């Protein structure tokens, strides 16, 4: 015995584990096949099946209305507002499809009018440049 009254500690060396040579894999675990089986820790997901359908936003998309106004104003103001109308119309088309809001037809009309006005003014400037150069 030592002075403290306990026995001396012997050195501890871990012994190597003796596994069988061919232990193999554990047996596979299959889920139950009957439809009403209990799953512990199962959390139902309501993201895919909401209780109520999403509500449609009220009114017509403001960007669609602005696109139509600026595309029509492009006919009076040398076509420059038509570029803004084209961009706003494309953005409004995407928003109305994604949100389900009214105004998709207005946005399409704005894109068509803007495109025609831009092409018309481009041809007008090209024709004026050709006539000015030939004179």
Over 70: is that where the pLDDT of 109 sits? yes
Least confident residue range of 4-8, 17-21, 93-97: 4-8
> Largest alpha-carbon pair distance within the chain?
124
DSSP three-state, residue 132: helix
pLDDT tens track for 57-90: 788 999 999 999 999 999 888 888 999 999 999 9
What interhelical angle do 104-134 and 80-99 show, nearest 10?
160
- What's the distance, CA 25 to chain centroid? 43
Which tokens is 97 given?
A: 């499809």
pLDDT-derived band at 16 (thresholds 50, 70, 90) equals: confident
In angstroms, the CA 118 to CA 125 distance is 11
pLDDT range class, residue 131, cuts 50, 70, 90: very high
């Amino acid at each position: 015995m030592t002075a403290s009254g306990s026995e001396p500690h012997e050195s501890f060396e871990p012994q190597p584990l003796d596994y069988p040579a061919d232990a193999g894999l554990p047996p596979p675990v299959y889920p139950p096949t009957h439809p009403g089986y209990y799953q512990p820790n199962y959390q139902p997901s309501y993201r895919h099946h909401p209780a109520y359908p999403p509500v449609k936003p009220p009114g017509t998309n403001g960007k669609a209305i602005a696109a139509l106004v600026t595309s029509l104003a492009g006919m009076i103001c040398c076509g420059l507002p038509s570029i803004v109308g084209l961009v706003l119309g494309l953005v409004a088309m995407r928003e109305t499809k994604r949100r389900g809001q009214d105004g998709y037809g207005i946005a399409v009309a704005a894109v068509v009018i803007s495109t025609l006005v831009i092409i018309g003014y481009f041809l007008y400037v090209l024709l004026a440049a050709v006539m000015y150069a030939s004179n």
